[in-house]
């Protein structure tokens, strides 16, 4: 009996010691808050200087003249080396938890310490990779870079040795291929050029009989407007103008676009009945929705605690317009990256109408009746409409397609937080399926995001670095399947919110989006962390939008100052 008591006490003490050790190790790790320069890192509550290293940076505010003279490197090549070094630091440290080993030396601005990521010395990696204290390994690579200075405020770009680029305040160094299409060359340093280089563009619409797919390119539209110049906005206008009897709208948010609003007013005047189901959740960012509701013959809002996140129009019970796009200037101008389908099909419209009628009668979320799943064939394309939360879209439909993938899985996504989906993606990567992900900057630091887990598994993940959002909620598989709609790849998207999703089996549509994804992939650099509003996010400091939802727009935001 006494022996058992002693054993119990020993076990309890052992567990207590283990817990204390775990807590000590956990608290000894610090999160990287900001990379000020490759050798100056801001951690929680302190700034660290990496000892005994000399590095270049692409920050034009840093005077590097002494280093340039010491290593006999031109100012232009120093900035190119700095661009590569900044990228190396981002990849190694950004969004990581690190340990520090202090030297004991301090200055007014920082404490000197090496930084360790999973027992790997950042200082040693910096030196061994050729980014510190000798640059022969990287200098030839740096010289081949075609970099320019972009002034966000004037939208002009300069050569690296241009004095007008160097004295500007709101600037960023980036590859010339990433320039916005409307950027203008500095007339002093681009004497031979009279216009900006022709930006590679990608056709943003494809039609297959009764099905049209529209994509919007966030890299080319750096400021939203309400002029309805985009093809996707013009398509919606034409659909509304064609309405004879009814327009049913399910929407998360509405922002005024005169062409669309006036088309709806004219439809009302010719006797078309307008019915609206809309979101009233506490986090809804679309106050102008109330203007649209004035046109409604019937309308209803949902539960304020859960999102009604659908985005679709049904015209005359026979035409459907749906996708990831919110009906606001940020979506309809092409500012955000979205995928939208316009489908002329009585059968598909009828399925959506059944879902709409449930919500119009006050049945939202878990109170709805599950509709019978049905695949509709239009020419050589198969379309399966699905709805959250009743269809368990990710578990019952998306993951089986991920598990069947043989060649590639490309994911342009606003957010990925779903555990089982992330595991399925990692398993696909482990069986040598090519996986690539482009995620939105605003959600890349979400605490529930699976991007870190996916990266640790070896999957390449890029974060968009433009003003607009990667708002698409799409998965492309093997030039065969396209999964798209309003549903984010999250637990709420599958199990709580009202959402709609299309699973499209079509080589033509899947291949088309795959090529567009590759076009975006080649324009977006590797960065583990990009501020949604800041100088690294092209155009975000001059677009008039609160990109990170902190209540501060453009130069009001500290990251833009």
Active site residues: 471, 473, 478
> Which residues share a beta bridge with 436?
410
Q: DSSP characters for 318-381?
A: TEEEEES--BSHHHHTS-SB-EEEEEE-HHHHHHHHHHHHHHHTT--GGGSPPPPP--EEETTE
Distance CA 142, CA 144 (A): 5
At residue 525, the 3 state secondary structure works out as coil
Distance CA 298, CA 312 (A): 16
Distance CA 294, CA 314 (A): 19
Question: What count of Cα atoms within 13 Å lies in the side-chain half-sphere of residue 561?
Answer: 5
Distance CA 313, CA 247 (A): 7
Angle, CA of 545, 547 and 550, to the nearest 5°: 105
Residues in the chain, total: 561
Both tokens of 265, joined, read 């007013």
CA distance between the termini of the chain: 71
- 147 secondary structure, DSSP code: E
List the one residue out of 146, 193, 168, 213 whose CA is nearest residue 60. 168
Q: Contact at 8 Å (CB) between 300 and 277? A: yes
Distance CA 117, CA 417 (A): 24
List the one residue out of 369, 372, 350 whose CA is nearest residue 359. 369
Distance CA 72, CA 178 (A): 29
- 383 secondary structure, DSSP code: E
List the one residue out of 288, 369, 324 whose CA is nearest residue 483. 324
Distance CA 325, CA 328 (A): 8
Residues 475, 478, 479, 482: what is their CA dihedral angle, to the nearest 10 degrees? -20
Distance CA 267, CA 69 (A): 71
With 0-12 / 13-18 / 19 or more C-beta atoms within 10 angstroms meaning exposed / middle / buried, residue 121 is: middle
């Amino acid at each position: 009996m006494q022996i058992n008591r002693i054993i119990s006490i020993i076990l309890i003490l052992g567990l207590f010691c283990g817990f204390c050790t775990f807590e000590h190790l956990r608290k000894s790790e610090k999160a990287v808050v900001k990379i000020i320069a490759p050798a100056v890192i801001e951690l929680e509550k302190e700034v660290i200087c990496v000892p005994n290293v000399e590095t270049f940076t692409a920050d034009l505010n840093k005077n590097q003249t002494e280093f340039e003279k010491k290593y006999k490197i031109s100012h232009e090549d120093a900035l190119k080396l700095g661009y590569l070094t900044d990228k190396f630091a981002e990849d190694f440290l950004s969004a990581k938890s690190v340990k520090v080993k202090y030297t004991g030396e301090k200055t007014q601005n920082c404490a000197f310490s090496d930084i360790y990521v999973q027992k790997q010395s950042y200082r040693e990696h910096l030196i061994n990779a050729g980014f510190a204290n000798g640059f022969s390994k990287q200098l030839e690579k740096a010289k081949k870079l075609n970099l320019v200075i972009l002034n966000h405020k004037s939208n002009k770009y300069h050569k690296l040795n241009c004095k007008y680029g160097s004295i500007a305040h709101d600037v960023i160094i980036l590859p010339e291929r990433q320039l916005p299409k409307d950027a203008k060359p500095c007339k002093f340093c681009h004497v031979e050029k009279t216009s900006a280089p022709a930006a590679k563009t990608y056709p943003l619409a494809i039609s297959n009989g009764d099905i049209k797919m529209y994509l919007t390119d966030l890299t080319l539209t750096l400021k939203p407007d309400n002029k309805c110049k985009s093809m996707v906005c013009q398509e919606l206008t034409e659909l509304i103008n064609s309405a004879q009897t009814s327009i049913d709208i399910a929407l998360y948010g509405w922002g005024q676009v005169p062409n669309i609003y006036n088309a709806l007013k004219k439809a009302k005047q010719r006797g078309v009945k307008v019915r609206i189901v809309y979101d009233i959740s506490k986090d809804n960012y679309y106050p102008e929705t109330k203007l649209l509701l004035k046109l409604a013959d019937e309308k209803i809002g949902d539960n304020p605690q859960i999102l009604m996140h659908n985005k679709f129009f049904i015209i005359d019970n026979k035409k459907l317009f749906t996708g990831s796009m919110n009906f606001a200037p940020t979506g309809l101008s092409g500012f955000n990256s979205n995928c939208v389908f316009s489908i002329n099909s009585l059968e598909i419209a009828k399925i959506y109408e059944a879902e709409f009628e449930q919500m119009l009668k006050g049945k939202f979320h878990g109170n709805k009746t599950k509709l019978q799943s049905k695949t509709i064939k239009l020419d050589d394309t198969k379309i399966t409409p699905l709805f959250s939360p009743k269809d368990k879209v990710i578990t019952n439909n998306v993951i089986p397609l991920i598990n069947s993938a043989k060649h590639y899985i490309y994911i342009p996504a606003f957010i990925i937080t779903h555990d089982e989906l992330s595991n399925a993606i990692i398993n696909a990567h482990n069986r040598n399926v090519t996986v690539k992900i482009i995620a939105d900057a605003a959600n890349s630091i979400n605490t529930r995001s699976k991007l870190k887990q996916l990266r640790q598994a070896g999957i390449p993940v890029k974060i968009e670095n433009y003003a607009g959002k990667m708002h698409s909620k799409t998965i492309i598989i093997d030039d065969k399947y396209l999964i798209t709609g309003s549903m984010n790849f999250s637990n709420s998207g599958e199990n709580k919110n009202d959402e709609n999703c299309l699973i499209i089996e079509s080589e033509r549509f899947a291949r088309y989006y795959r090529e567009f994804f590759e076009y975006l992939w080649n324009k977006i650099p590797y960065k583990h962390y990009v501020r949604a509003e800041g100088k690294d996010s092209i155009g975000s400091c001059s677009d008039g939008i609160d990109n990170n939802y902190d209540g501060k727009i453009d130069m009001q935001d500290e990251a833009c100052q």
